[in-house]
Amino acid sequence: MSFEQILPERQLKELQKSVLDFMHTQGYTESAAVFARESGNEGFVADPNDRHHNLLAKKWTSVIRLQKKIMELEAKLSKLQEEAPLRRPSSVAEWLPRPPARTKLAQHRSPITRVRFHPQYTVLATASEDMTVKLWDSESGDFERTVKGHTKAVQDVAFDAKGSIMVTCSADLTLRVWDIAADYKCVRTLHGHDHCVSAVCFLGADRLASASRDRTIKIWDLATGYCVKTLVGHAEWVRSVDVTPDSRLLCTASNDQSVRLWDPSTGDCKADMRGHSNVVETARFAPPNTYACLRRLAGLPPVTAAADANAPGQFVISGSRDKTLCLWDTASAQLLHTFIGHDDWVRDFVFHPSGKTIISVSDDKTMRVWDLATGRCSKTIEASQHFTTCIDFSTVSPLVATGSVDTEVSLWACR
């Protein structure tokens, strides 16, 4: 194929003159004369001030430099593919939050203490130190209503599995039960704690468990509003409480740097797990779909019996002011793994629906995604301008919500 078929006429002339200049520069005068005659450039005179001077050498040097750069980039890409194969999530269930935040919700007047998605509808509840709970349409970000009743900071929010009841707890020493169908009417106020009530969760359909700064955990009958049992054992403020799906175990986190397991039916403490070096802000039971990854992370053998393999309450993960998250084996009360990466207090975390990751938030203002099979931080997102205090993952749509001391709530689309 000739150059005339590859290059336009103007570019062909440019190339010919650059070649002639190169020949004259190198002293190939006879070859240059022949080439000038055959290419129709017999009047060409090499001139150091001409733009064709040394153009061929410069172009050749650029090509070599670009080839070297391409080889370096190909080597880096190959290394990255070996360390973490590039792939798109195979399903919606594996989607992760992506910056920037899709929506900023700004109606609260004080720091956000809890964000909680409704289990059935596209509703987000946000609790704040401004003594209120606000409800939002999580899809549109539209503000819907303010729920008032507490006289001090609201510390936690919980929905029952059907989404018909909302329960809140507060620094005003009370828990309040709200009937969602009755336009969020407060139908019961529970009294019994002697100090700030830090956390609340449903213990089945008809009972509640609450944790308090008075160092106790209380079990409440939802129908009567009476406290039916008080669990005592922590030496300091009890920060959080969580329950297994079968309601047979509770786990709590405390300022005494421990995570405890409890039998709510007897009130007995089943395990006292220690390994953190500062206040433990939160502790949660790992759902069964995380067990395969957690066993691989801890180097535990797989469980062959199907019933035992999926039994609830086998693992707990806790987050602490010592900047770490810890994985615990509830059967042996042993610390299996420590997740290290945050630069400040770990305030909250949530399990991803896929069972493969957890997402934590911290006073270092970030949201971090952790691979449960390797224990490594796979992604870090700047979550807020101030301490990030809480997080939740919607079960209705691929959304994550985070709350901050800066009084704002952020909604993050997962994709």
When pLDDT is cut at 50, 70 and 90, the band that residue 307 belongs to is: low
- pLDDT tens per residue across span 332-346: 999 999 999 999 999
Pairwise pLDDT comparison (364 vs 85), residue with the higher score: 364
- Within 8 A by CB and 6+ apart from 303, the residues are 291, 295, 309
Nearest to 396 by CA among 121, 97, 92, 140: 121
Q: In what order do the strands lie in the sheet with 123-128?
A: 112-117, 123-128, 132-137, 143-148
Pairwise pLDDT comparison (88 vs 298), residue with the higher score: 298
pLDDT at 55 over 90: no
pLDDT of the residue at 56:
83
pLDDT of the residue at 57:
83
When pLDDT is cut at 50, 70 and 90, the band that residue 2 belongs to is: very low
- Within 8 A by CB and 6+ apart from 49, the residues are none
pLDDT at 19 over 50: yes
- Look up residue 34 and give its two tokens: 């022949």
pLDDT of the residue at 3:
41
**CA separation for the pair 325, 379 (Å, rounded):** 16
- pLDDT tens per residue across span 206-232: 999 999 999 999 999 999 999 999 999
pLDDT at 381 over 70: yes
pLDDT at 41 over 80: yes
Pairwise pLDDT comparison (405 vs 38), residue with the higher score: 405
Q: Report the mean per-residue pLDDT for the chain.
A: 92
State percent of the chain over pLDDT 90.
76
**CA separation for the pair 329, 313 (Å, rounded):** 9
Pairwise pLDDT comparison (15 vs 118), residue with the higher score: 118
Count Cβ atoms below 10 Å from residue 309 Cβ, excluding itself: 14
Nearest-10 Cα torsion for 400, 148, 184, 146:
-50
Nearest to 285 by CA among 232, 331, 227: 331
**CA separation for the pair 47, 60 (Å, rounded):** 20
Which sign, positive or negative, has the C-alpha torsion 276, 280, 284, 289? Answer: negative
- pLDDT tens per residue across span 132-176: 999 999 999 999 999 999 999 999 999 999 999 999 999 999 999
State percent of the chain over pLDDT 70.
95
C-beta of residue 238 within 8 angstroms of C-beta of residue 198: yes
pLDDT at 89 over 80: no
- pLDDT tens per residue across span 248-291: 999 999 999 999 999 999 999 999 999 999 999 999 999 999 99
pLDDT of the residue at 86:
46
- Look up residue 302 and give its two tokens: 């797989």
Question: Region 356-367: what's the mean pLDDT?
Answer: 98
Nearest to 396 by CA among 137, 88, 105: 137
**Listed range (41-50, 156-165, 381-390) with the worst mean pLDDT:** 41-50
Q: How far does Cα 104 stand from its chain's mean position?
A: 17
pLDDT of the residue at 72:
87
Nearest to 168 by CA among 156, 186, 184, 179: 156
Nearest to 367 by CA among 412, 320, 316: 412
Place of tokens 């973490």: 84
- Look up residue 128 and give its two tokens: 């704040």
pLDDT of the residue at 83:
62
- pLDDT tens per residue across span 178-198: 999 999 999 999 999 999 999
**CA separation for the pair 155, 240 (Å, rounded):** 10
pLDDT of the residue at 62:
83
Nearest to 399 by CA among 409, 386, 385: 409
The phi-psi region of residue 214 (left if phi > 0; otherwise alpha if psi is between -120 and 50; otherwise beta) is alpha
**CA separation for the pair 352, 370 (Å, rounded):** 10
- pLDDT tens per residue across span 113-125: 999 999 999 999 9
Round the CA-based radius of gyration of the chain to a whole number and report it: 32
3-state secondary structure string across 136-201 = EECCCCCEEEEEECCCCCEEEEEECCCCCEEEEEECCCEEEEEECCCCCEEEEEEECCCCCEEEEE
pLDDT at 91 over 80: no
